[in-house]
Amino acid sequence: MKRVNVDLIVGASILTALFILVAGMLWLKEASLANKMVNYLVVFPEVGTLQLGDPVYINGVKKGTVSKIELRGTEVGTILNIDRKINMTDSVRVAVVNVGLLGERGIGVTLSPKGRAIPHITAESKDTAVIRGRFDTGISEAMGMLGTVLSEVETLVVNVAGILDATLGDTAFITQFHSIVGRLDTVCIVANRLLLRNEPVLNAAMTEIKKVSGDLKTLINKNSPGIDSIVADGGQLMTKGIALVAQAESLVVDVQGVLRNIEGGKGSLGKLYTDESFYRELKETIASVDTLVNEVQKDALKLRVRLGFGKKKQ
């Protein structure tokens, strides 16, 4: 009996020692791994079905996991626990990607050799180094959109069915449609008859048009030098016209300068234009001439000539 108890105690001690050994090795391994992992803060507009513990892929290679997800206002902040050896810069591209056929999510990081290195966050440091990420639509979002699309397709089918019922299902529409088709057939028959009856006339007209085109081409070919000369003369005339316009513009500028000088009282005309006494004298002279003309028209001009050949004797 004592032998059995000893064996049980020894066995239990061995199992306990093995458990402690395995647990210690696992704890040390986790601690070692934890020492080699660092955290980065990435902000997304949305994350879909992303969960804690989802993988983080660096250029397609799994190098970490998602350790925290929280709302930051209208955005979602995530803490990525990735390998310390990964060089994260402000030029990396981070996205929430689809990693499975059932809508599983993960984080995809595409490294870039350019950019400035981003420091990782610690428990003591503030989350000032923020990486902006984007959200890629996956299977779950596509399935959600599919429901909306199917609803819109159903509405479209109902509308098309209503249109067909209002047209093809309406006997009045069918009757009117047959009437229109019959009229079109009649128009086609009449047009065909007209073409057959007037085919010689149309052929003759086309022949005449062809002949006139040939004559016109021959005339142009014969008078090509004259036409070229006319075009050249037209070019020279255009050049001369441009020169005349330039001279006219210069003349206008000169006239404007003379007018400005006159208004400013420069030169003889300017002095006369600005001399108020000259204006008053001219006005009085015109008034005198006007008075004289009025007297001539009213009493006529009387000339008195006295001839004296001596005095009368008393």
How many Å apart are CA 171 and CA 162, to the nearest integer?
15
User: Identity (one letter) of the amino acid at 64?
Assistant: G
Nearest Cα to Cα of residue 107 among 98, 115, 116: 98
- Residues 188 and 197: their CA atoms lie apart, in Å, by 14
Of 24-28, 140-144, 263-267, 281-285, highest mean pLDDT: 281-285
Token pair in block for residue 130: 């923020």
* C-alpha 2, offset from chain centre: 95
Give 132's Cβ-side CA count (13 Å radius). Answer: 2
Tell whether the model's pLDDT for residue 308 goes beyond 60: no
C-alpha Rg value of the chain to the nearest Å = 55
Residue with tokens 């350790």: 67
CA angle, residues 190, 194, 196, in degrees to nearest 5: 115
**pTM of full prediction above 0.75:** no
How much is the pLDDT for 26? 64
pLDDT at residue 263 is higher than 60: yes
> According to the model, what pLDDT value does residue 303 have?
43
pLDDT digits over 24-55, tens only? 766 655 544 445 888 888 999 988 888 898 99
Averaged pLDDT for residues 177-197 = 87
Measure the CA–CA gap between 118 and 108, rounded to whole angstroms.
17
3-state SS class at 89? strand
**β pairing state of 75-83 and 61-72:** antiparallel
Range 37-136 classified under CATH 2.40.10? yes
221 contacts: CB under 8 Å, gap ≥ 6: none
Confidence of residue 304 (pLDDT cuts 50, 70, 90): very low
Q: Which residues pair with 58 in a beta bridge?
A: 61, 109
* pLDDT tens-digit readout, 67-115: 989 998 899 989 889 988 888 888 899 998 888 777 788 999 998 888 8
pLDDT digits (tens, 9 = 90+) for 118-144: 888 876 665 567 888 988 876 666 666
Average pLDDT, the chain: 78
